Amino acid sequence: MNNVRQPFYVAIFLLFSVGISLSYYRHSTFDVPWLPGEKQHIWSIEAKIQFDGQNEPVKVSLAVPDTQQSFTKVAEHTASAGYGLSYLEDDAGRRVQWTIRDAQGPQILYYRVDMLVDPDQDQVGTFTLPIKRRVNLGAGPYETSARGLLEQAISRSADPYSLTAELIREFSTQSQSAEFLSQKRPRIEWLVLLLQYANVPARKILGLHLEDGRRRQKLLNYLQVFDGQHYKIFDTETGKQIRPKSFLLWEYNSLPLIDLMGGANTTVNFSMIKQEVPLGESRKTSIERDSSLLNFSIHSLPLEELSLFKGILLIPVGVLVVVFLRIFIGLRTSGTFMPVLIAMSFIQTSLITGVVGFILIVGTGLIIRSYLSKLNLLLVARIAAVIIFVIILIACFSVVAYQMGLSEGLKITFFPMVILSWTIERMSILWEEEGPQEVVVQAGGSLIVALVTYMLLTNDVVRHLTFNFLGLQLVLMAVVLMLGSYTGYRLLEFRRFRPFCKD
């Protein structure tokens, strides 16, 4: 028997040592710290440009961001097979330009910029004022109406910023005028025009809200208003000022985001991810470091995939928790790895909302299911009915929560519905077969496993380790394999076999 097992132990040993040494290599060569200590954050933002080539020369130019308030640009990369590349830098702002003689079929270009979060970076020297233009408002009905709004706002304001806020408020409260004006040009253009008319430098910019792991985002229009030395960014719908900490200006020279010659059907999508670098590493080295970091395995993937992997790489940890709790503790759960999925959705929904939502949905689902069981339906149809019902339930909860002003309630949609429906079905059978006690045991078991998993998955150390050290996946694999050959007792078996323990 020992001979049969030997390759197995060798495999485990190999996995362990390869995993550890890969991690160590990454630690020593790339200076990735073992623990998430004091660190700076780098936002990597990737623009993915897609268009269809039409068998003719193509020239694409994309507006790109530069160092600005709160962010310092540390590196930028492009990926574009076969394209000529140049950076254009002039008074009109920075742009990256791709060129090719002949492009056919769908084309994808990537541009990625790494922005270091830098609270010390202020606005000085990071922007150019819009060119002053003498604006002449005409005397048409639109202009008269707009001038009315502006005069109201001017009388109630003291400086450029309060004027902007008041003007946006005018647009929101005087909905009839706003409606009328929007027939001629969008609100943001009116705002720019009126501010310039009032001698306040302002322009339309394109910006991006930064949120870790977001994919397929679009740029949105915002209003940039200057008071001579500084500027502020306004949301033109709410009139609120945008805080610069998690907001990146992408295009701020009143130029189009993308210029494409020789192609059609252009789309630009943005993905972003937050990465950590140790404190004290100077900006220069982090530029060099980053390019070598890019060449390393998974971290060289496009950001869109990378941010997906940030979540996927956590799953093995959750799986390990399930294996541990079932083999060593002996907890019963409904559906082996269902709790991991529930825990993953807790991450999206936040804990309290998640737990309340889970109990609400499963509880209500059980009541409905008990009615369905009286209807004498075939199994597949019954589960389908439960799925549809769960979706209706989620929709209702979302609407009710939204109406009550609980925006948290909307996150309930992150639950995996098909899995929830199966859970409800299984639990209701369990209820009929083994009584409510077993349902409580298994639902409780699932919830405990989900909670433990959730705590681990939201732990900074765990997130840091799984994302930065791919080698640890091999170690996890080795641990799971080892647990798989454990033949000792489970913790709950001590209770089960307690008569044997007495003597």
Partner 1 sequence: MLLKCYRQLAASGVMGMNRRNLSYIGRYNPRSLFPLVDDKLKTKRLAVEHGVTVPTLIGVIEHQHSVRHISKIIDGHRAFCIKPAKGSGGKGILVISKVDDGVFYRTNGQAVCSSEVQRHVSNILAGLFSLGGAPDVAMIEDCIEIESGLATFSHEGVPDIRVIVFHGIPVMAMMRLSCSDSHGKANLHQGAIGVGLCLATGRAVNAVKDDVEILLHPDTGQNLRELALPKWRKLLELACACSDMTGLGYLGVDLVIDKNLGPMLLELNARPGLSIQMANNAGLLPRLRKIESISHPERWGAEQRLEFAQTHFAAIAAA
Binding region for partner 1 (CB under 8 A): 327, 330, 376, 378-380, 429, 433-434, 484-491, 493-494, 496-501, 503
Question: Which among 314, 313, 318, 312 is positioned nearest to 449, based on CA atoms?
Answer: 318
Q: What is the 3-state secondary structure (H, E, C) of 197-239?
A: HCCCCEEEEEEEECCCCCCCECCEEEEEEECCCCEEEECCCCC
Q: Considering the complex, what minimum distance in angstroms separates the CB of residue 318 from partner 1?
A: 21
- Residue whose CB is less far from partner 1, 89 or 493: 493
- Residue whose CB is less far from partner 1, 132 or 498: 498
Helical (H) or strand (E) element with 274: strand 263-278
Given a contact cutoff of 8 angstroms between Cβ atoms, the answer to whether 248 and 45 are in contact is yes
Given a contact cutoff of 8 angstroms between Cβ atoms, the answer to whether 174 and 166 are in contact is no
Q: Considering the complex, what minimum distance in angstroms separates the CB of residue 5 from partner 1?
A: 12
Q: Considering the complex, what minimum distance in angstroms separates the CB of residue 491 from partner 1?
A: 8
- Residue whose CB is less far from partner 1, 30 or 422: 422
Q: Considering the complex, what minimum distance in angstroms separates the CB of residue 359 from partner 1?
A: 25
Edge-first strand order for the sheet with 247-251 is 231-234, 220-226, 202-209, 247-251
Q: Considering the complex, what minimum distance in angstroms separates the CB of residue 66 from partner 1?
A: 58
What are the backbone dihedrals phi and psi of residue 313, each rounded to the nearest 5 degrees, phi first? -65, -15
Given a contact cutoff of 8 angstroms between Cβ atoms, the answer to whether 95 and 270 are in contact is no
Contacts of 166 (CB under 8 A, 6+ apart): 152, 153, 154, 156, 157
* Alpha carbon 334 to its chain's center: 30
- Residue whose CB is less far from partner 1, 146 or 424: 424
Q: Considering the complex, what minimum distance in angstroms separates the CB of residue 494 from partner 1?
A: 5
Question: Which among 439, 367, 353, 365 is positioned nearest to 401, based on CA atoms?
Answer: 353
- Residue whose CB is less far from partner 1, 398 or 421: 421
Q: Which two tokens stand for residue 92?
A: 């009109």
Q: Which two tokens stand for residue 430?
A: 């369990």
Q: Considering the complex, what minimum distance in angstroms separates the CB of residue 266 from partner 1?
A: 48
Strands (E), 281-388: none
- Residue whose CB is less far from partner 1, 312 or 492: 492
Q: Give the whole-angstrom CA distance, residue 438 versus residue 256.
A: 62
Greatest extent of the chain over all pairs of C-alpha atoms, in Å: 102
Q: Considering the complex, what minimum distance in angstroms separates the CB of residue 503 from partner 1?
A: 7
- Residue whose CB is less far from partner 1, 230 or 326: 326
- Residue whose CB is less far from partner 1, 351 or 417: 417
- Residue whose CB is less far from partner 1, 284 or 502: 502
Helical (H) or strand (E) element with 347: helix 338-349
Q: Considering the complex, what minimum distance in angstroms separates the CB of residue 445 from partner 1?
A: 15
- Residue whose CB is less far from partner 1, 110 or 328: 328
Q: Give the whole-angstrom CA distance, residue 223 versus residue 204.
A: 5
Q: Give the whole-angstrom CA distance, residue 312 versus residue 318.
A: 10
Q: Give the whole-angstrom CA distance, residue 199 versus residue 193.
A: 10
Q: What is the 3-state secondary structure (H, E, C) of 42-61?
A: EEEEEEEEEEEEEEEEEEEE
Q: Considering the complex, what minimum distance in angstroms separates the CB of residue 486 from partner 1?
A: 6
- Residue whose CB is less far from partner 1, 216 or 496: 496
Q: Considering the complex, what minimum distance in angstroms separates the CB of residue 1 from partner 1?
A: 9
* Alpha carbon 389 to its chain's center: 29
Q: Give the whole-angstrom CA distance, residue 230 versus residue 122.
A: 9
Q: Considering the complex, what minimum distance in angstroms separates the CB of residue 376 from partner 1?
A: 5
- Residue whose CB is less far from partner 1, 243 or 374: 374
Written as one letter, the residue type at 48 is K
Q: Give the whole-angstrom CA distance, residue 226 versus residue 92.
A: 17
